[in-house]
A and B are shown apart, each in its own frame.
Chain A
């Protein structure tokens, strides 16, 4: 099993630019989660999907953030426009019986 796949692994962009993060969950996992991790705030849930349907987006910080899951094997998290305070590591995780399994993360730096 390849595990959760995320791309890109690193992203450096300038303030105001659009950023798109991508995730491929583990095959057969029905739930997908997007997290953000910073030193100050720790690991925070942004949004999660079950069977491709958004269930809880209460953690999405503001309208600049949007997420989609067009099919069971792909999800995107988009930030438009990006700001320096969005700099963080963004993780995608998928869930099976027994817990959530994380991808390697995307390290985002907004200058």
Chain B
């Protein structure tokens, strides 16, 4: 059973701080990694994808991938109350497959 593990939280940070969200996965053959944001009552929204070891930056978001340690993380700089949501980590289940396995998500609260 391919698994993706996330700390369910809640993770609470003050406005302006860095929020760090972590995810581990079990399938060493995974090649594609995604972060989704889901507001309460809404659908998941793709915010970042990463395929190679290292960091990938997009605005206030940085995704980090370490395939040797089988973890992927998401950093949110200058956190805003509007970043309060559940963040889902998703990993493709087999090398090259389109099928994604999702973690159960980490609930982030940014306090004004």
Contact = CB atoms under 8 A, between A and B. Distances in A.
Interface of A: 31, 33, 42-45, 48, 50, 55-56, 91, 95, 98-105
B99 A43 contact: no
A56 B99 contact: yes
Contacts of A105: 43
Contacts of B105: 42
25 contacts: A31-B98, A33-B98, A33-B100, A42-B102, A42-B103, A42-B105, A43-B44, A43-B88, A43-B102, A45-B101, A48-B98, A48-B99, A55-B98, A56-B99, A95-B98, A99-B34, A99-B46, A99-B49, A100-B34, A100-B46, A102-B36, A102-B43, A102-B44, A104-B42, A104-B43
B45 interface: yes
Interface residues of B, number: 17
The secondary structure that dominates the A interface is strand
B67 interface: no
A98 B33 CA distance: 10
A55 B99 CA distance: 10
Contacts of B44: 43, 91, 102
Question: Most chain-B CB neighbours within 10 Å: which of A43, A50, A105?
Answer: A43
A50 B105 CA distance: 27
A52 B101 CA distance: 21
Interface string B40-82: 0011111001000000000000000000000000000000000
A44 B3 CA distance: 12
Contacts of B88: 43
A101 B90 CA distance: 13
B43 A103 contact: yes
Contacts of B49: 98-99
B105 to A, nearest CB: 7
Given A45-B99, A56-B99, A102-B44, 5 more contacts: A33-B98, A33-B100, A48-B98, A48-B99, A95-B98
